[in-house]
């Protein structure tokens, strides 16, 4: 057992994080590059780590199957030995052209499936055709006019088909959208969706489901049109236990945000309180439900909590400090002000923070402080990371990158493009387009591409500062590491914030940068940061927007489309079989697997595997390597799937500060072993992003898969 394994074992026996080697060594780091923190009067701890004694454990095994499924052995063979080859129905005349430009895994999966001519898939009973057509029209948001044209064509073959899309889709005629809080409003409800979700679950899934569900909600606004000033402000919900897609609890459309937060939340708060006290029953089983998180960006949080906006002097939602007016903005420079408490916020102890009484205080069993996390998608990705890039491109002269450096970065981006895994929905855009980057692109940059492409471009101090943020966020995102290293990550973020002001100026201590010091608290209450992020809601909000096809009555349009089956939530299947694509005969094929079929691609339960670059790098039992072939055998009820794997024989740390990158399973790798290893597909494997670095590669464990 090496030092780190001992540490893991010890930590499992004690809850004291203080005994952690990372935390113990915080004081040692950066002794040589101590900064003068004149801009803060707080005593800042400089985080550091002596990870040389930590050894290595593959912590990023979060997407692996239970290792007990492993058939017990990994086989090796030499390649040379076995190489064988409505009342006012809408959109009748219109057609939505606002197609999703999101090049994502699911759409590619769909396309691949479409391209594979499986005759069995095309066979169906005529009785199913109306139902299948309705599902297709709803899933793909096909306008009624197009559905009508298709129905007229098909009716000559299938007479029982209706001729009108509204009949096919059972479009509701009676959608009442009263004016509430100054806008068009419709309330679906919470239980409405829970009953739908549960009725769509298998009996096995229902048996496994806990009877205490935790609801997360999101409130955010999105403009519906470029030319007409109308915004959509839905209340979206998601059940934490299911990790499925969100559902719309309420729809609100208006020229501005709701005029009254109390009116806007009246139905929700009434139903939530009813559910939290009495629960609900489905098929004889009683369920309790608790609202555990309200996930929003800073303006929406201020709106719901009725507190000062993020530019205010007493705007921090987590600590009590008065901002300072500096260089035409309010800055929050203290990292150790007293923290706000639930009792203090409920009783409005700080009158300079509250504008009025929030309706959230009427919610039973809800914490107004920890129940409203600081959403890292907006705070970190769209906030701090974009701010950093802005400073490198258009900041003060002393921290700006030269044109040559920017060109070098662009070249690296172009070089990286073919190495980005399929699960990432957007390919790398040039750094100069950073203002248009989506949150997923900024996350990709922070966690994966940035640490590699910025090395030797930024100054040592700037790079070290960026890496501090990248490492701290990676620790807080990891379900395996976040709770053990939450104290360390918090110290690292405080150090990052202090250094950020030192490097880029005191005026950078704005709300977003300051709030970084509080996100570790969200991890303490909700687990890994992704548990309470806006990412799933942001994606769903875009889908809801696309349901609107004309400017009139947008709320009723969305409600009808949702009732027709568009944007329906789902509970992800846990027993999905792997799919194998692109058969070939090119090997390598070990002798003992001659009766297996060879494939170039496999859609496993959680990720995509390929023999091509971008999706072929994995960590298996702590070894980094490349998938060279995918083998599958299926006869009657007997089936097996294995991967042919080549290990990199050279492995070293990519960085050693703020900790040894090997602790995060981030390695410089080189030289593939010529002896293949065969691994069962059911064995625990961790997908990596493999990016070129000088003449070698850097492997970074992948943490995001959708
Ligand atoms: Zn604060």
Can you spell out the DSSP letters for 62-84? TTPPPGGGS-S--EEEEGGGS--
| CA of 165 relative to ligand 1 center, distance in Å | 54
| CA of 33 relative to ligand 1 center, distance in Å | 26
Q: Give the rounded distance of the alpha carbon of 558 from its chain centre.
A: 25
Question: What local confidence, expressed as pLDDT, does residue 125 receive?
Answer: 56
Kindly give, in sequence order, each residue whose CB lies less than 8 Å from that of residue 17, ignoring residues fewer than 6 positions away: 11, 23, 484, 485, 486, 487, 488
Question: What local confidence, expressed as pLDDT, does residue 127 receive?
Answer: 63
| CA of 513 relative to ligand 1 center, distance in Å | 10
| CA of 316 relative to ligand 1 center, distance in Å | 5
| CA of 330 relative to ligand 1 center, distance in Å | 13
Burial of 496: CB neighbours in 10 Å, binned 0-12, 13-18, 19+: buried
| CA of 516 relative to ligand 1 center, distance in Å | 9
Token pair listed for 704: 């995001």
**Whole-angstrom distance, CA of residue 523 vs CA of residue 487:** 10
Buried b (16+ CB within 10 A) or exposed e, 636-675: eeeeebbbbbbbbeebebbbebbbbbbbbbbbbbeeebee
**Whole-angstrom distance, CA of residue 389 vs CA of residue 405:** 13
| CA of 54 relative to ligand 1 center, distance in Å | 33
* Helix (H), strand (E) at residue 144: helix 144-155
| CA of 329 relative to ligand 1 center, distance in Å | 16
Question: What local confidence, expressed as pLDDT, does residue 428 receive?
Answer: 80
Nearest Cα to Cα of residue 324 among 144, 460, 508, 499: 508
Query: 566 — alpha (psi -120 to 50), left (phi > 0) or beta?
Result: beta
| CA of 111 relative to ligand 1 center, distance in Å | 47
| CA of 98 relative to ligand 1 center, distance in Å | 41
Question: What local confidence, expressed as pLDDT, does residue 551 receive?
Answer: 86
**Whole-angstrom distance, CA of residue 563 vs CA of residue 544:** 12
Question: What local confidence, expressed as pLDDT, does residue 150 receive?
Answer: 83
Q: What is the pTM of this model?
A: 0.81
Token pair listed for 89: 């129905």
**Whole-angstrom distance, CA of residue 599 vs CA of residue 254:** 52
| CA of 341 relative to ligand 1 center, distance in Å | 12
Average pLDDT, consecutive stretches of 10 residues, N- to C-terminus, the chain (706 residues): 39 37 46 38 42 36 35 42 37 36 36 40 58 77 79 78 76 83 95 90 79 94 88 95 89 94 96 94 92 95 93 92 89 91 90 92 92 96 96 89 90 88 79 89 95 93 97 96 96 96 92 96 96 93 90 90 85 74 92 92 89 94 94 84 94 95 96 92 91 95 83
**Whole-angstrom distance, CA of residue 91 vs CA of residue 167:** 15
Place of tokens 């409203």: 372
Whether 217 contacts 197, CB under 8 Å: no
DSSP string computed for 307-359: B--TTSTT--SSB----EEETTEEE---S-PPBP-HHHHHTT--TTTBSS--G
| CA of 322 relative to ligand 1 center, distance in Å | 10
Buried b (16+ CB within 10 A) or exposed e, 218-255: bbbbeebeeeeebbbbbbbbbbbebeebbbbbbbbbbe
Tell me how far apart the terminal alpha carbons of the chain are, to the nearest angstrom: 35
Token pair listed for 28: 């040692």
Question: What local confidence, expressed as pLDDT, does residue 698 receive?
Answer: 97
| For ion ligand 1, residues whose CB falls within 5 Å | 316, 318-319
């Amino acid at each position: 057992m090496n030092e780190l394994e001992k540490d893991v074992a010890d930590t499992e026996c004690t809850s004291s994080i203080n005994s952690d080697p990372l935390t113990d060594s915080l004081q040692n780091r950066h002794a040589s590059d101590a900064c003068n923190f004149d801009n803060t009067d707080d005593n800042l701890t400089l985080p550091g780590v002596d990870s040389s004694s930590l050894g290595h454990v593959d912590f990023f095994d979060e997407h692996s199957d239970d290792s007990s499924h492993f058939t017990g052995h990994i086989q090796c063979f030499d390649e040379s030995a076995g190489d064988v080859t409505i009342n006012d129905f809408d959109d009748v005349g219109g057609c939505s052209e606002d197609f999703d430009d999101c090049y994502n895994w699911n759409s590619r999966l769909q396309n691949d499936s479409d391209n594979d001519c499986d005759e069995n898939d095309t066979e169906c009973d005529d009785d199913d055709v109306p139902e299948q057509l309705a599902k297709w029209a709803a899933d793909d948001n096909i306008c009624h006019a197009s559905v009508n044209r298709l129905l007229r064509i098909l009716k000559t073959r299938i007479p029982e088909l209706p001729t009108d899309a509204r009949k096919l889709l059972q479009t509701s005629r009676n959608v009442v959208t009263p004016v509430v809080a100054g806008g068009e409003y419709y309330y679906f409800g919470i239980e409405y969706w829970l009953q739908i979700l549960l009725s769509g679950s298998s009996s096995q899934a229902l048996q496994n489901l806990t009877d205490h569900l935790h609801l997360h909600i999101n409130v955010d606004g999105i403009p519906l049109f470029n030319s007409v000033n109308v915004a959509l402000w839905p209340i979206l919900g998601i059940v934490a236990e299911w990790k499925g897609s969100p559902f719309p609890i309420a729809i609100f459309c208006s020229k501005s945000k709701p005029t009254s937060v109390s009116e806007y939340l009246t139905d929700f708060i009434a139903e939530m309180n009813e559910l939290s006290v009495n629960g609900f029953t489905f098929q004889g089983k009683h369920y309790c439900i608790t609202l555990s998180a309200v996930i929003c960006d800073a303006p929406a949080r201020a709106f719901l909590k009725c507190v000062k906006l993020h530019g205010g002097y007493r705007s921090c939602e987590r600590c009590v400090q008065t901002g300072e007016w500096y260089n035409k903005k309010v800055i929050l420079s203290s990292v150790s002000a007293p923290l706000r408490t639930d009792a203090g916020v409920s009783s409005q102890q700080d009158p300079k923070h509250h504008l009025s009484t929030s309706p959230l205080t009427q919610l039973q069993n809800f914490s107004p402080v920890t129940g409203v996390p600081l959403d890292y998608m907006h705070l970190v990705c769209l906030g701090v990371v974009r701010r950093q890039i802005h400073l490198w491109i258009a900041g003060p002269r002393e921290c700006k990158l030269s044109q040559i450096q920017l060109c070098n970065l662009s070249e690296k981006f172009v070089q990286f493009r073919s190495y980005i895994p399929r699960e990432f929905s957007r390919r790398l855009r040039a750094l100069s387009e950073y203002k248009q980057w989506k949150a997923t692109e900024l996350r990709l940059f922070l966690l994966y591409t940035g640490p590699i492409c910025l090395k030797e471009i930024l100054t040592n101090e700037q790079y070290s500062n960026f890496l501090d943020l990248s490492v701290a966020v990676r620790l807080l995102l990891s379900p395996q590491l976040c709770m053990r290293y939450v104290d360390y990550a918090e110290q690292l973020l405080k150090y990052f914030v202090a250094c950020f002001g030192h490097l880029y100026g005191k005026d950078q201590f704005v709300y977003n940068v300051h709030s970084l010091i509080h996100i570790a608290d969200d991890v303490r209450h909700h687990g890994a940061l992704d548990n309470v992020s806006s990412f799933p809601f942001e994606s769903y909000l875009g889908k809801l927007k696309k349901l609107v096809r004309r400017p009139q009555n947008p709320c009723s349009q969305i409600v009808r489309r949702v009732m027709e089956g568009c944007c329906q939530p789902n509970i992800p299947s846990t027993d999905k079989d792997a799919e194998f694509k692109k058969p070939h005969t090119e090997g390598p094929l070990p002798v003992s697997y001659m009766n297996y079929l060879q494939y170039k691609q496999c859609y496993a339960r959680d990720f995509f595997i390929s023999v091509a670059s971008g999706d072929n790098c994995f960590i298996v039992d702590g070894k980094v390597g490349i998938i060279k072939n995918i083998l599958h055998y299926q006869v009657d009820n007997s089936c097996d799937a294995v991967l042919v794997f080549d290990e990199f024989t050279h492995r070293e740390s990519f960085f050693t500060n703020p900790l040894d990158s090997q602790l995060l399973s981030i390695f410089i790798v080189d030289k593939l072993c010529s002896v293949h290893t065969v691994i069962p597909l059911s064995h625990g494997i961790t997908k990596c992003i493999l990016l070129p670095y000088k003449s070698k590669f850097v492997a970074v464990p992948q943490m995001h898969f959708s």
